[in-house]
Structure 1
Amino acid sequence: MDDRTVLNGIVWKFRTGTAWRDVPERYGPWATLHTRFRRWALDGTFERMLRSAQAGADAAGDIDWLVSVDSTVVRAHQHAAGARKKRGAAAPDSDGRGAA
């Protein structure tokens, strides 16, 4: 099994969002794909591949380096706002007053 087949299997897995065990057999054993993915991620292979592809595309004039920043606001749930709960506050007695 060559590296191109392994890379295609890894890409297929992430594009579909499926589990490693569900990658089609045409890409090879799922355990091999997973092992190779982890090895390549740890040793910087993916970073080198990206830099190489970008350099080639840039030299060919295929990349427009204009940057667009999205300023979308994502609202957090009220309970995720980070307010701390008071600890050690006296719990009310049966008559509704705090313990003294």
Structure 2
Amino acid sequence: MSEFWLSEEQFERLRPLLPDKVRGVARVDDRRVISGIIHVVKSGGRWVDAPACYGPRKTLYNRFVRWAAKGIWQEMFVTLAAAGGPPAEVLIDSTHMKAHRSAGGGKGGRSSRRSGSVEAVATASSTRSLTAKAARSVSC
């Protein structure tokens, strides 16, 4: 997969939404970092596998996590979605979950059974405990 870079126009739309308080060490260019974050998220790879052209991998990860905690990503998505018209592309995402092989039903598979049948009502659901009978002693 080739590198992803935000265009100047795309970054100018995002710039007002980014935090601008600079503390400590000189800040890595936001355009590079956002491009790197998008590259990692799109490729589905690990943060350590991001190409070096985006800057330090730890910076990519830290900004992604910090901005997610502050709600900056959510604000970006809402703002950009509200600004655009109908999408040029429509994406459909599918999600799957693994289930244990017995999750579909009990013994015998998924056949439907009536729990309120005459036989179920007529038969006792449990038997008396033999230990309760043995606990009573005639000699006492």
* TM-score, shorter chain, exceeding 0.5: yes
Q: CA deviation at 1:39?
A: 0.2
Runs of 4+ in 1 over 4 A off after TM superposition: 74-77
Q: Which has the higher helix share?
A: 1
Q: CA deviation at 1:77?
A: 4.5
Equivalent residue for 2:32? 5
Segments of structure 2 that go 5 or more residues without pairing to the other structure are 1-27, 107-130, 132-140
Cα 1:23–1:77 change in 2 (3 A) is same
In structure 1, which of residues 34, 40, 46 is the aligned counterpart of residue 61 of structure 2?
34
Please list the CA deviations of residues 24-79 of structure 1 after superposition, one character each: whole Å capped at 9, or x if unmatched. 0110000000000000110000010001101110xxx3349xxx9x9xxx895532
Q: What is the CA–CA distance in structure 2 between the aligned matches of 1:75 and 1:49, rounded to whole Å?
A: 33
Cα 1:5–1:76 change in 2 (3 A) is same
TM-score in terms of structure 1 length: 0.61
In structure 2, which of residues 83, 86, 98 is the aligned counterpart of residue 62 of structure 1?
86
Equivalent residue for 1:79? 102
2:45 counterpart letter in structure 1: T
Q: Tell me how many residue pairs correspond in the alignment.
A: 75
Structure with larger RCO (C-alpha < 8 A, sep 6+)? 2
Cα 1:75–1:41 change in 2 (3 A) is closer
Segments of structure 1 that go 5 or more residues without pairing to the other structure are 84-99
Cα 1:82–1:23 change in 2 (3 A) is farther
Cα 1:3–1:75 change in 2 (3 A) is closer
Equivalent residue for 2:52? 25
Equivalent residue for 1:87? none
> % of aligned pairs identical?
38
CA RMSD of aligned residues (A): 3.1
